[in-house]
Structure 1
Amino acid sequence: MKKRILSAGLLLSLTVTAQAQDRQVVDAVARALETQGVMTPKGKLEIEPSFSYSQNTSDRISILGFTQVPTLLVGIIEAEDADLTTFTWGLAARYGLTNRIELELRVPWVYRYDKFTRLVPTGGNGGDETRTFTSNGGGLGDVEAAIRYQFNLESAPFWIGGLRVKSDTGESPFDKELNNITRVYDDPPTGSGAWALEPSLTMIYPTDPAVLFGTAGYTWNMEADAGVDIDSSNGESGNDKYDLGDSFFLGMGMGFAVNNRLSFSLGVNHRTVFKSTVNGRKSGDMLQIDSLTTGFSLAMTEKTSINMSLQAGLTEDAPDVQVNFGMPIMF
């Protein structure tokens, strides 16, 4: 149970972070192709409705038993295929405090549909039985706020520092009990359950007709209290403290101007997630998440554009595919 809950919290936290990174890269590259300032101009307000889709599948086989001879296994074999789908609708507001400073607030609404297919032994002569369990539901996700500062305006490369704060407004997997029969959530969580801080540094170097970019940062997940007992070894119920693993990330790529309205970008992203802890004890495994990202930006009018990014997982821990759409509107 502990591994399942920790995995749910990590998956939600990483998916939200990846969505924010993809939107920022596509936006910044598109702006750098047209102007030296890549932040929202002073006194301007930008509203961006967005939609993202994330798909992640995994196969797991559990063997409870022993090997009598090299070709004969005595015991119980359980196979599970997990198919996790997440839809996120978001509304972001960005305001140019100065030509160098940009403020952002993002409110997401998350809907999840999880399906688990298991090969369950029947214990009789009928062999094993395949059973499917589903979990679906939606609600408010974790609200985010960010501030970004562009260090230089006159000459390239442009350096941008950022600080993102993620709240715990979404429903936490650590406050929900698993179904006693299916061992999945009846109503899946919509947030990671913990506050997080993420400082980052981005470099953008326009060199006509391309723009080179790189980004690096660190995500610090704060310790939080669990509403359910995820570690029975302490002899108490509902008093567990968990700390989702911190992580650092690196990304790099380039964007190209096709014409004065259309630009696209290619990039690779890496994130290392350290082990989580429950009541001060390490839990789970270190994760290595690598992905390939491509995106484009199409200017519809002088104040409106359409952004899209597609992210494909390159490692076992990464989501299989993630698609993000956004339509920033400048006021």
Structure 2
Amino acid sequence: MFASASILLSITTGTLADTVHLKNGDSLSGRLISYEGDVCVFSTPYAMGLTIRTADIGSMQTDHPYEVQFKNGDRASGHLVSESARVTRLSSEIFGEVELKLADIAVLQRNLIEQREPAVARDHIEYGERADPPPLDFLVGSTVLLGPGEYELDMGLVYKQSRRQHNLFDVGYFQKSSYSARVLQFEPTLRAGLFDRLEAHLTVPFSYTSVEDVSSNEYVSTSSAWDLADIGMGIQYQWLDETAAYPALSFTFDIGAPTGRKRYNDAANRWKDPLNNGSGHWSVAPGIAWVRRTDPAILFGGLSYQHFFENTIDGYTVKPGWALRSYLGAGFALNEKLSIGARFSYSYTANLRAGRRTIKGTDIDPADLAFNVSYRLHEDWVISPQVMLGLNDDAGPASMSLNLKRKFN
């Protein structure tokens, strides 16, 4: 199965491949998995995870930028170019082309995002030519994707709908009792690369909610609202780069502001609960996220703790329970324009406290599964449809979303 996936990757990426020239005259073409210490792990369409002694390598060439860590502590970044079977050069935007001695290299680490080449005016791009790195939208929130001075505007649109109904034969053969709620939420998000390894984001969402409660044709209650939802902001710092021993690790810190609508309705008006589009409380959420490449897939995950602060709403002093959130996922960059990803999320929220008293039975543990596709429409535009499926009652109804992203350098 893994060999087939490697062959498929080789086909979809055309001539994109890394090359290792051995001192005995052999050459291998495929993908460099890791290069650290005295061992190089290399994958080809015919075998996965070949282990090669670095002392047996004469020269190397890569089709992706790599960060080179030298044994003396220096670092450089760029493409490796094999000039001959025994000579390797580093092609860097900063240093130009310089010759490398493989014996001086401690670690080679592939950059998650390729550096964009300077724009060149051309009438067309040849079929199969790589113009931009693949969209890696499934990694948003799991690692730092923007460099210093880069900005991204994400115009997200989410729709979810819930309905239940049953017949009322005692009132009329065709009469129905039903309850439906529809939510359309616009979630514009601005992400910015502040410094090296540091990224920030700000989300200002708006939602339109429509609720209809039908007891019969004679008793129909409807309500709708267009409101600002809770504003979210946060930062992400990439702490560790990925090596052969451990994944790339980053720290996250998110803040939620109670700008949305929050009401604790009485029993007679409980049907209006879906009109709430906010928590009603300030919150902070520190967390950790990781990314691990295992060609042709990228694995990712994260864990965060969310703390809510006490607030008085509708005369009640309320403090929601703490929340522990986690997720695991995998993504595939199929080519320079298309990638797919899947993500499983699970969280637990403890019982809330009202009037200094813990309210039993208010804890929840939703689980859901999301699938998304990202397609590069243009050099700086990416569209990403997503479907999220609730796996239990606490997760609520399924939702569909569409994200259109514009990147600014």
Q: Normalization by structure 1: what TM-score?
A: 0.71
Q: 1:257 to 1:288 in 2, by over 3 A?
A: same
What residue is the counterpart of 2:155 in the other structure?
49
After superposing the two structures, state which structure 1 stretch, 276-285 or 216-225, moved more: 276-285
What is the CA distance between 1:183 and its match in structure 2?
Answer: 5.1
Q: Structure 1 stretches of 5 or more lacking a match?
A: 1-24, 61-79, 120-128, 229-237
What residue is the counterpart of 1:318 in the other structure?
395
- Indicate if the aligned counterparts of 1:58 and 1:82 stay in contact, CA closer than 8 A: yes
What is the CA distance between 1:31 and its match in structure 2?
Answer: 11
Say whether 1:264 aligns with 2:354: no
Q: 1:200 to 1:118 in 2, by over 3 A?
A: farther
Q: 1:259 to 1:107 in 2, by over 3 A?
A: same
Q: 1:160 to 1:56 in 2, by over 3 A?
A: farther
CA–CA separation in structure 2 for the residues paired with 1:215 and 1:195: 22
What residue is the counterpart of 1:307 in the other structure?
384
CA–CA separation in structure 2 for the residues paired with 1:183 and 1:251: 32
Deviations 1:150-176 (A, max 9, x none): 1124636211211111101122224xx
What is the CA distance between 1:97 and its match in structure 2?
Answer: 0.8
Deviations 1:287-315 (A, max 9, x none): 12111111111112232211222110110
Deviations 1:7-36 (A, max 9, x none): xxxxxxxxxxxxxxxxxx96253899xxxx
Aligned CA RMSD, in angstroms, stands at: 3.0
What is the CA distance between 1:214 and its match in structure 2?
Answer: 1.2
Say whether 1:201 aligns with 2:288: yes
- Indicate if the aligned counterparts of 2:138 and 2:341 stay in contact, CA closer than 8 A: no
- Indicate if the aligned counterparts of 1:84 and 1:112 stay in contact, CA closer than 8 A: yes
CA–CA separation in structure 2 for the residues paired with 1:209 and 1:29: 15
What residue is the counterpart of 1:255 in the other structure?
331
CA–CA separation in structure 2 for the residues paired with 1:169 and 1:145: 13
What residue is the counterpart of 1:222 in the other structure?
309
Tell me which amino acid in the other structure corresponds to 2:192: Y
CA–CA separation in structure 1 for the residues paired with 2:140 and 2:287: 20
- Relative contact order higher in (CA < 8 Å, ≥ 6 apart): 1
User: SS of 2:240's equivalent?
Assistant: coil
- Indicate if the aligned counterparts of 2:138 and 2:331 stay in contact, CA closer than 8 A: no
What is the CA distance between 1:322 and its match in structure 2?
Answer: 1.4
**Highest Rg: 1 or 2?**
2
CA–CA separation in structure 2 for the residues paired with 1:187 and 1:257: 37
Say whether 1:141 aligns with 2:229: yes
Aligned positions of 1:119-134 closer than 5 A: 131-134=219-222
What residue is the counterpart of 1:27 in the other structure?
137
Say whether 1:104 aligns with 2:214: no
- Indicate if the aligned counterparts of 1:54 and 1:319 stay in contact, CA closer than 8 A: no
Q: Choose the corresponding residue for 2:183, options 86, 96, 102.
A: 86
Q: 1:31 to 1:149 in 2, by over 3 A?
A: closer
Tell me which amino acid in the other structure corresponds to 1:137: A
What residue is the counterpart of 1:151 in the other structure?
239
CA–CA separation in structure 2 for the residues paired with 1:54 and 1:246: 25
CA–CA separation in structure 2 for the residues paired with 1:160 and 1:308: 26
Number of residue pairs the alignment of both structures matches:
262
What is the CA distance between 1:184 and its match in structure 2?
Answer: 4.0
Q: 1:92 to 1:183 in 2, by over 3 A?
A: closer
What is the CA distance between 1:81 and its match in structure 2?
Answer: 5.5
Q: 1:26 to 1:173 in 2, by over 3 A?
A: farther
Q: 1:56 to 1:255 in 2, by over 3 A?
A: same
User: SS of 2:137's equivalent?
Assistant: helix
- Indicate if the aligned counterparts of 1:306 and 1:325 stay in contact, CA closer than 8 A: yes
What is the CA distance between 1:104 and its match in structure 2?
Answer: 0.7
Q: Structure 2 stretches of 5 or more lacking a match?
A: 1-134, 167-176
- Indicate if the aligned counterparts of 1:179 and 1:185 stay in contact, CA closer than 8 A: no
What residue is the counterpart of 1:297 in the other structure?
374
What residue is the counterpart of 1:74 in the other structure?
none
- Indicate if the aligned counterparts of 2:138 and 2:340 stay in contact, CA closer than 8 A: no
CA–CA separation in structure 1 for the residues paired with 2:136 and 2:261: 29
User: SS of 2:205's equivalent?
Assistant: strand
What residue is the counterpart of 2:258 in the other structure?
168
- Indicate if the aligned counterparts of 1:163 and 1:197 stay in contact, CA closer than 8 A: yes
Q: 1:223 to 1:162 in 2, by over 3 A?
A: same
What residue is the counterpart of 1:231 in the other structure?
none
Percent of pairs with identical residues:
24
CA–CA separation in structure 2 for the residues paired with 1:91 and 1:164: 16
Deviations 1:107-152 (A, max 9, x none): 1111111233448xxxxxxxxx984432211111111111011112
CA–CA separation in structure 1 for the residues paired with 2:141 and 2:345: 21
- Indicate if the aligned counterparts of 1:48 and 1:329 stay in contact, CA closer than 8 A: yes
What is the CA distance between 1:196 and its match in structure 2?
Answer: 1.2
What is the CA distance between 1:55 and its match in structure 2?
Answer: 2.7
